[in-house]
Amino acid sequence: MSNWLISIEGTDTGRHAALVLALMAAALHALFGALQKGRHDPWLARAAIDLCYGLIALPFALFVVPWPEAHMWPIFAGAFVIHAFYKVLQAMTYTRGAYTVVYPVVRGTGPLFTVAAAGLVFGERYAPVQWAGVAMLTSGILGLSAHNLLHLSHGRNTLKPALGFAVATGALVAAYTTYDAWGIRATADPFTFLAWFFLIDAVFIPTLNARRLLGLERAEIAPLFRRGVLGALVAFCSFGAIMLATRLDRVGEAAVLRETSTVFAALIGWLVLGEKVGRVPAALMALIAAGAVVMEWGG
C-alpha cells in the first residue's frame, strides 16, 4: 500500500485519490465531532477516544510500520504540542457553546487559514476562481452557524466566549493541518507518520483527565469506552484519510474539501435522526457544496 501511494504522488491518479480521501474524511469528521459532543462531558469523551486510539496504534507503531527516521522525532514533538493546544481549545469551545453554532464556526474559519498557510509553507498558488470557491464555502458554513444561533433556545450566556474559542480552534485546525501535511511528507512511509502520530497524540488528554477517568462509576465506564473505541476507529479513518490526501495533492484543496463535513453532519441529522432541514439551511448547504466544487475544479 505504501509503495503504491508513493508511486501516485503528483499524478492524476493521486489527485483523484486525494479527492475521494478528503470527502471521506469530511463525512467521518462530522461523525467524530458528534461523538465528542454527545452524551458525555467533552473532556472525558476525548480522553476515552485518545486512550483507545493510542492502545490500538501501539502494536502497529512498534511491529508493523518501518521505524521513524531520526529527523522525525522533533516533528512528532511539534505535532504533539500543536494538537494539545487544539484539543484544549476544542473542549473549551464545546463546553461553552451549542454544537450546531460553534462547530460550523470552527470548520468555517479553518479553510481560510489553511489555504493561506499552505501558500506560505508549500508555495501553493490558487486561481481567483478558487478563492471565490473558498469564500462561498466559508460563507455557507458561517451562515449555518448564524442561522442556528437565531434559533438557539438556551446557552446564550456563554456564547460570546464560545465563539471566540471557536475561531481560535479554527486557527489551530489550520496550524495542525499544515504542520502535519509537512510531517507526513517528511517521512518515507506515510503510515509510519500516522501510526506514531496516534501513539504520541494519545498521551496528553488522558493524562490530563487521569483522575476523572479513574474516578468513574462502574456503570459509566462501558458506555464511555464504547464511544471511545468507535471514536478511535473514526479518527483513524478520518485523520488518516485527510493526511494521505495532503501528501497526494495540494494541502489547501484537501482542507477545503474536508470542511464539507458540515454538510455531512446536517445530512446525518436529516437521514438518520429524522431532523427537519429548512429552506435556509438547505440553501446554505448547497452553497457549501458549490464552494467545494469550485475550489476543486477551478484550478
Residue type for position 109:
T
* Secondary structure (DSSP) of 45-92: HHHHHHHHHHHHHHHIIIIISPPPPTTHHHHHHHHHHHHHHHHHHHHH
Cell digits of residue 126? 490558487
Q: What is the spatial distance between Cα 137 and Cα 140, in angstroms, rounded to a whole number?
A: 5
Per-position pLDDT tens, the chain of length 299: 788 888 898 898 998 899 899 989 988 887 776 665 556 677 888 899 999 999 999 999 999 999 999 999 999 999 999 999 998 888 788 778 777 678 778 877 788 788 888 888 888 888 889 889 888 888 888 887 788 777 766 656 667 788 888 889 988 988 999 999 999 999 999 999 999 999 999 999 999 999 998 888 888 888 888 888 988 999 999 999 999 999 998 888 888 888 787 777 777 666 765 666 678 877 888 888 888 888 877 76
pTM of the model: 0.85
Neighbours of 239 (CB within 10 A): 21
Backbone φ, ψ for residue 97 (5° rounding): -130, 155
Total domain count, the chain:
1
Give the burial string for 106-144 (b: 16+ CB within 10 Å, else e).
bbbbbbbbbbebbeeebebebeeebeebbebbbebbbbb
Helices (H), ranges, the chain: 2-7, 12-37, 42-59, 72-96, 99-122, 128-150, 159-185, 190-201, 204-208, 210-214, 218-248, 251-258, 261-271, 279-297
CA gyration radius for the chain?
A: 19
Q: Which domain holds residue 208?
A: 2-297
